[in-house]
Amino acid sequence: MPNYMDLNVGILGVPLILLATHVMASSTSGCVGTYFSWKCFQGICEIEAAQDAFVETSGAINTISASLMKIANDIRLLASGPRCGIGELILPENEPESSIMPGEVSPTQCEALTIACALVMGNHVAITVGGSNGHFELNVFKPLIASRLLQSIRVLGDAYASFEKNCVRGIKVNCERISKLLHESLMLVTCLNPKIGYENAAAVAKKAHKEGTTMKRTNLPSLSLSLSAFHLLTRSGLNIAMFTASHRVSCPPTVLCSPYLRLMSTSFREEKDTFGPILVPSDKLWGAQTQRSLQNFDIGGEHEVMPEPIIRAFGILKKCVAKVNMVYGLDPSIGKAIMQAAQEVSEGKLNEHFPLVIWQTGSGTQSNMNANEVIANRASEILGHKRGEKRVHPNDHVNRAQSSNDTFPTVMHIAAAADISQRFIPSLRQLHSSLHAKSVEFKDIIKIGRGHLQDATPLTLGQEFSGYTTQVKYGIERVMCALPRMYQLAQGGTAVGTGLNSKKGFDVKIAAAVAQETNLPFTTAENKFETLAAHDAFVETSGALNTISVSLMKIANDIRLLGSGPRCGLGELILPENEPGSSIMPGKVNPTQCEALTMACALVMGNHMSVTVGGSNGHFELNVFKPLIASRLLQSIRVLGDASASFEKNCVRGIKANHERISKFLHESLMLVTCLNPKIGYDNSAAVVKKAQKEGTTLKEAALSLGVVEPHEFDELVVPEKMISPSD
């Protein structure tokens, strides 16, 4: 390394080399290593000003920590016991655990790994904040960023190696316990759905559970008698529903912000589910299960309803499923009515009939049933029947060959992939185009650089903007790299990933139908167990958005600082004046687009932590943070995409260079002395700077006064135009 190499590059280079080495060596990082080693040393302008490669790598390791948290939690829960837990696995007994309870042995390796995962998640937040604080030509959080990422790589790698050696290798299966639990389960009744219908199957399960018998020994006297008994059992539910409805009608106006109160009706109809009858507003298409959810999850009010992209995606999915189910024997008249009703949902025509909030069951079951009930009732109307008659059944027809466990993750992927492809990426591409145009427009404007917020050596304004352009370019690449996993659909996995109650080829046909409907390259998931139990694709995509938010935070902060003034700031850029900036200071105009974008970036950073925690909480065959994960990512996509588009349209396009101000700063800067280093040495150059600064003279005057250079030599060497690229 040459002895005159800029210290900034040296300080960055050492952790980059160490980081690349650790990443390549770590068993947890896998494919990250090859990619990151290629990214480490690209572009001096981009690499000094931004630490996006570190944030990107941390995002990948953060995703890995989410996966490992799920794996470790699953294993320790499956081994819980030995007498009073699940006990399907027997873990190695490595050491005694308790100082008071003789014989206790705990899943210590699982616990160590989950603690390491939590460390990585916290470190990722620190790296994100550090990465977002690169101003102008230098990020000054390098030691923090490097140390946290190196710690994450080392600790997670070691914890994973210990977990594999001391736990995974020695795991044994408790076959007796597994067999016992399997044959005691009432959910085997699910395979009776196609034969006797959902409600009769539910009655069998309830009777077996109540009487302590097996399902095989559970006999229902007749359909009419079972319904009679069913009404007797659920009469109290009807009374409760009527009381609740009358209570709502008399509620004071201050309470009417609730999502179900704002959709109140003065007349009701009776709908039924396996819990019995319940009153539903007559003018609404939803049914009993949606109504129960409204009563049980009054959380957050109308501003927390399920995002519209999820609702529209349900319409797309249910239409496609009905189309495929007709191939497998669904009555064509019912199938076509379902398709027509689902089309109305996908077009947003029935949005008022989807009142449920995000904060519900973590599998999204109630929103799936909301869609099933709305589509079933609307399809019944299309066929000339009344709402609530179940001429089209929400479970047996609309939800045929499906489970909430595969429909909700499927609509999550449809909604996110559509928003990324149709809204987010186009916004970023437009921003990239405008930044690139500015880098070309400003390519001949030489200005002073800044590091540590202090004067540095010159560069062109075009070079400065080229760093911004490259950051956005890499951001587009990052989110594009995540899309292949987002295009994989869970549909066909049904309850736990096995595809029970669906037909062979059903999953492939559904994915093809959705792809045709959306014009996006959806495919059936490579492994349905992964897509139901984990949402790593969402954590990965959120990580990409998190990195992009770091990039945009830096860009927006630079531009608003460069545009600060107009008299008493840097004032090198002139930003568009879109609106008055103050209610008290006349004539003040603020960099509002920059401020809006940075706030959107902060939102995305927070959302990413929520998605991360949600992604890490998939247990066994199901992740039960689905509504949270979906809503946070969709909000990040929408807000950051819109903010980027607004920033490009209302700020970047209209940016102008303040030539007079740029030239003044350039020729007043003392850091032009840097080009004298090879001639007179660092110490003499420093003496020139100190003398000029102390006495208020020019560099040339100070240099000549000290006698370290001749006038003609100074004029030949101190030429800003020669300082913006390597010498020959």
Residues designated catalytic: 452, 582
Query: What's the residue count for the chain?
Result: 728
Closest C-alpha to 107, from 18, 167, 56, 156: 167
Contact (Cβ atoms closer than 8 angstroms) between residue 335 and residue 322: yes
Amino acid at 27: S
CB neighbourhood size of 480 (10 A):
14
Question: Across-strand partners of 89?
Answer: 173
The CA distances from residue 568 to 363, 565, 661, 665, in Å, are 55, 5, 11, 13
Rounded to whole angstroms, the Cα distance separating 342 from 371 reads 9
Closest C-alpha to 392, from 340, 353, 354: 340
CA quadruple 708, 713, 719, 725: dihedral sign:
negative
Rounded to whole angstroms, the Cα distance separating 413 from 524 reads 11
Contact (Cβ atoms closer than 8 angstroms) between residue 401 and residue 325: yes
The CA distances from residue 477 to 56, 218, 638, 640, in Å, are 11, 58, 18, 16
What tokens appear for 320 in the block? 């496609």
Question: Across-strand partners of 344?
Answer: none
Closest C-alpha to 485, from 407, 409, 427, 551: 409
Contact (Cβ atoms closer than 8 angstroms) between residue 147 and residue 66: no
Closest C-alpha to 41, from 65, 64, 12: 12
Contact (Cβ atoms closer than 8 angstroms) between residue 483 and residue 421: yes
The CA distances from residue 286 to 250, 334, 370, in Å, are 22, 18, 6
Rounded to whole angstroms, the Cα distance separating 34 from 680 reads 43
Rounded to whole angstroms, the Cα distance separating 247 from 152 reads 54
Q: Is the peptide bond before 566 cis (omega within 30 degrees of 0)?
A: yes
Rounded to whole angstroms, the Cα distance separating 697 from 707 reads 15
CA 378 to chain centre: 33
The contacts of residue 279 (CB under 8 Å, 6+ apart) are: 238, 241, 242, 245, 268, 269, 270, 271, 291
CA quadruple 467, 473, 477, 478: dihedral sign:
positive
Classify residue 173 as exposed, middle or buried by CB count within 10 Å of its CB (0-12, 13-18, 19+): exposed
Rounded to whole angstroms, the Cα distance separating 56 from 541 reads 11
Rounded to whole angstroms, the Cα distance separating 521 from 241 reads 45
